[in-house]
């Protein structure tokens, strides 16, 4: 085993310290996000002055619909209000159709579960009633996959 002179050991230790700082400082700087995190109440819920994801989604959707209506109105030479009203009507009709289709699929799955003995008729009827009352989740999906409205 070779004995390292004290001066060489101190220089090596100093170099290791500088290297550690050279790695740590940029890492910390990159980890700091310049955008502020949403404020959270003591209950863990976002504060009331922070729009929810649903509200943000609705705002973006409203803005896209406004841009679409303006573009269509300009392209077709029609009043923007008339195009907006038509879009709202068609979207409402499509949402109603989709809701009815989801309810039909739910009823089919529940009927199958009753036939297989996994649920009683009363349980299935209660779930159907909850779905019709809007108690169950689903509807306008916020993403992809089974947890976001997909299958």
Local confidence band at 136 (pLDDT 50, 70, 90 cut-offs) = confident
Q: What gap in Å lies between CA 47 and CA 95, rounded to an integer?
A: 31
**pLDDT tens per residue, range 50-66:** 788 889 998 998 999 89
Contacts 24+ apart (CB under 8 A), 27-34: none
Q: What confidence tens digit (pLDDT) does each residue in 73-129 have?
A: 999 999 999 989 999 999 999 999 998 999 999 999 999 999 999 999 999 999 999
Burial label, 22 (beta-carbon count in 10 A; 0-12, 13-18, 19+): exposed
Which single residue is written with the structure tokens 């199958």? 112
- The pTM of this model reads 0.49
Domain ranges of the chain: 53-133
Mean pLDDT of the chain: 77
């Amino acid at each position: 085993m070779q004995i390292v002179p004290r001066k060489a050991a101190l220089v090596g230790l100093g170099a290791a310290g500088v290297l550690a700082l050279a790695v740590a400082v940029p890492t910390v700087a990159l980890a700091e996000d310049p955008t502020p995190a949403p404020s959270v109440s003591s209950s863990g819920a976002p504060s009331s002055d922070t729009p929810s994801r649903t509200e943000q989604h609705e705002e973006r959707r409203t803005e896209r619909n406004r841009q679409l209506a303006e573009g269509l109105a300009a392209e077709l030479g029609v009043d923007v209000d008339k195009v907006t009203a038509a879009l709202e009507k068609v979207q409402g009709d499509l949402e109603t159709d989709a809701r009815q289709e989801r309810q039909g699929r739910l009823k089919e799955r529940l009927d199958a579960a009753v036939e297989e003995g996994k649920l009683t008729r009363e349980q299935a009827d209660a779930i159907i009633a909850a779905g019709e009352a809007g108690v169950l989740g689903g509807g306008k999906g916020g993403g992809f996959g089974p947890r976001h409205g997909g299958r």
